[in-house]
Amino acid sequence: MRVKQVDVSVLCHATEDPEKLRAALSFLTGSERIAEENLEGVYGEPITLMRVKQEGKPAEQLFERITSDPDNKKKLLDDLELRLEGWKLHVRLDKQELVKGRISIGSGDNTIKLVVVAGGKAEKGGSKGFFAASLGGNIESH
C-alpha cells in the first residue's frame, strides 16, 4: 500500500494575485504544470480554479513533505476519521501560510484542498490503518 495520487486544487479570487498562488502551488508540489479553469462567482466576479495532479513517486514525496511537520501530522491524526472517504484522505492547507512558504494544515474556506489517494495491496486496518501508520500513529489510538 502506498500513496498513489495527490490532487491539489485552489480557487483564486479576483482580489488575489494569481502569480503568488501559482508560485505557492509550485513550491508545494515541485511542479510548474498547473491546470487553470476560468469560472464565474455568484455575483459575476472572475474566479480561477488551479489544479495540480501528482502521481506515483511525486505524490508520495508531496504527502511526505506535508506530514514531515509534527504539527501537521498531529492535526491529521487527531481528525483522521473525519478526513477519510474510502481510500482518500482529505486535507486542507492554509492558503496564506503557503503563499508565505509554510506548509500548515488549515480549515475553512481560504484553503488549498488536497485529496490523497492510496492504492495497492489492501492494508490490515484498511484505509484508516494505512493512513494512521503513514502518520506515525496506530488505529487503536485514533
Give the tens place of pLDDT for each residue, 21-53.
999 999 999 999 999 999 998 999 999 999 999
Write down the pLDDT at residue 138.
59
pLDDT of residue 122: 65
Cα 48 to Cα 36: distance, rounded to the nearest angstrom? 6
Q: What is the pTM of this model?
A: 0.90
Radius of gyration of the chain (CA): 16
Residue among 88, 92, 90, 89 at smallest CA distance from 105 = 92
Distances in Å between the alpha carbon of 118 and those of 55, 66, 89? 11, 15, 8
CA-wise closest residue to 45 among 13, 11, 10, 9: 13
The cell numbers describing 99, all together, are: 503563499
Q: Phi and psi for 11 in degrees, rounded to 5?
A: -95, 130
Q: Which domains does the chain have, with CATH numbers?
A: 2-134 (3.30.1440.10)
Q: What is the mean pLDDT of residues 5-11?
A: 97
